[in-house]
Amino acid sequence: MAISSADIQKLRQDTGLGVMDCKKFLTDAEGDYDKALEIARKAGEKVAAKKADREAGQGLIDAYIHPGSQMGVLIQVNCETDFVARNEEFKEMVHDLAMHIAAFNPLYITPEDVPEDTVEKEKEIYKEQLLNEGKPEKMLDKIVEGKLQKYFEEVCLLNQPYLKNENQTIKEFVEEKIGKIGENINIKRFERFSLQ
């Protein structure tokens, strides 16, 4: 089976990986581009997991002001070295994250950041709704868990579908960048401002 150089180049542009890695992923996927892209993404997740414990003491603070100057976002994203913090791809990623926050208005970074009392209140509301709908009580916990995951997709930045690629979460987007850039990357904090 021949792997076309056009497919290698396209995968390279989409992932930022080297030519040999792209060729290997396309070969592993038997020439299926979508499958190769999925394999490359999973490889990025593995790289991200390996780098997760490394210190990310450098980084960048960026601002996004929405046209009309009625809304803006400040975000801090950390990386391991000042070299990466000055890298154009890293800067672009941070700016894209700020733009995403402006559009989707997340309240937290991860589900673990959601206060426990808020989670419990949401669970109570869902249970009450389900009981009013006549759902069987033995199914409540499973349905509530599904609704809670949906809630996290709405309010937690890392769980949201990425503004520029709805097939990818922000977490997957960041993991892909970790694999590409080769350093641990952490979204430390953000604040969204709008005129009241």
Digit-by-digit pLDDT tens for the chain (196 residues) are: 678 778 777 777 666 666 777 777 788 888 887 887 777 777 665 555 554 555 667 889 999 999 999 999 999 999 988 888 898 999 999 999 999 999 999 999 999 999 999 999 999 998 888 888 888 888 888 888 999 999 999 999 999 999 999 999 999 999 989 888 888 899 999 999 998 7
Residues 182 and 161 in one domain: yes
Half-sphere exposure of 10 (CA within 13 A, CB side): 12
- Locate 174 and state its tokens: 């960041």
Q: What is the pTM of this model?
A: 0.70
Range of the domain at 41: 5-51
Residues 64, 137, single domain; the answer is no
67 and 125 part of one domain: no
66 plus 98 within the same structural domain: yes
Q: Distance between CA 123 and CA 119 in Å, rounded?
A: 6
What the block records as the tokens of 125 is 């509301």
What is 123-187 written as a DSSP string?
Answer: HHHHHHHHHHTT--GGGHHHHHHHHHHHHHHHHBGGGSEETTEEEEEHHHHHHHHHHHH-S--EE
Shared-domain flag, residues 163 and 104: yes
Number of domains present in the structure of the chain = 3
